[in-house]
Amino acid sequence: MGVGLNDNYVSGLARGNEWRTTPLWGIGLQEKVNGHAYFLHDGCARNYVEAIMWHGGEGEASKNLFKNMDKEDRDALVAFLKSL
């Protein structure tokens, strides 16, 4: 998990630094269905890019791949997420 996301909240067997990424099916409908485009467990990410960049732990490698993409590829990935 990314630095700063550990909220020390225990839920079941999960500690505050352990969060499961939910399936991305329907993520493109977030704003239409929920009236907002906030992401992550507590809504701290205001868009797809922030959500990706907050990742650490098991998601660190994917975050770094995204960070090193050129703008056109990053935009294409965000467009794909919006299509889900």
pLDDT in tens, 7-66: 666 667 767 666 666 788 888 898 889 888 888 877 889 999 999 998 888 889 999 999
Q: How confident is the model at residue 79 (pLDDT cuts 50, 70, 90)?
A: very high
Task: Let me know how long the chain is.
Answer: 84
> What's the confidence (pLDDT) of residue 19?
66
In this structure, the number of other CB atoms found within 10 A of the CB of residue 84 comes to 12
Quick one: which of 13, 6, 84 has its CA closest to 48?
84
